[in-house]
Structure 1
């Protein structure tokens, strides 16, 4: 697939794909005419990038994870990866709790908004509760 076809298939802007290539996280092959040629393996790599971005990982961490696919397995590599994955796991659990609480709150807001007796102050209170969900902000 050329860049336009690949971008359409994955619903991504071609400039994003060019940026990923510049970073070295998604480097397609080239045709004899020097056009980008994406493969099924590139599609797999893109899906990994997309999922990790959705999980909130920055591109430099995604790059580190993708490099693990071609790295030799050694004790240091395993220890470093374990430390990284353990930290991310804890972050994912925290995010899971945050989103679960946010889902409950937005369900309550949606239900309250369907009633004709909801006051402005009640709505303001519910909106302010969203700010109280993230205990990391002072």
Structure 2
């Protein structure tokens, strides 16, 4: 499929696809007329990029993960990948705890905002607790 079709299918802009290509993340084949032609494999790659971006990984780390798909499995590759994945796993667990605490706090805020007796100071305290979430999770 061409760039316009692919962008519509995945729900992103053509500029985003150009950016990913320039970064070496998503490199479609080129036709004889030098048009980009996206494949099912490119669709899978885009989904990986999208998920990893949503998880908060920077593009350099996403590129690293994508490169692992084409590397030969070696002891060095396995050790490097294990070290990387272990660090990311810890980060994901920390994020999970943060979002769970944030979710609980926003539930409390939503419930409090429905009461007619909510005071400004109560609301202010809840808002300030958002800034303290990192301290609680760590």
TM-score by length of 1: 0.96
Q: Which residue of 2 aligns with 1:13?
A: 13
Q: How many aligned residue pairs are there?
A: 136
Unmatched runs of 5 consecutive residues or more in structure 2: none
Q: Which residue of 2 aligns with 1:56?
A: 56
Moved over 3 A (4+): none
Separation of aligned partners in 1, 2:11 and 2:57: 20
SS of 2:67's partner is helix
What is the CA-CA distance between 1:135 and the residue it aligns to?
2.2
Q: Which residue of 2 aligns with 1:129?
A: 129
Separation of aligned partners in 1, 2:36 and 2:117: 59
Q: Which residue of 2 aligns with 1:114?
A: 114
Q: Which residue of 2 aligns with 1:74?
A: 74
Answering whether residue 87 of structure 2 is matched by residue 87 of structure 1, we say yes
Answering whether residue 6 of structure 2 is matched by residue 41 of structure 1, we say no
TM-score by length of 2: 0.96
What is the CA-CA distance between 1:27 and the residue it aligns to?
0.3
1:19-77 deviations in whole A, cap 9, x for unaligned? 11011110001112111011111000000000000000000000000000000110001
Unmatched runs of 5 consecutive residues or more in structure 1: none
1:113-134 deviations in whole A, cap 9, x for unaligned? 0111111111000000000001
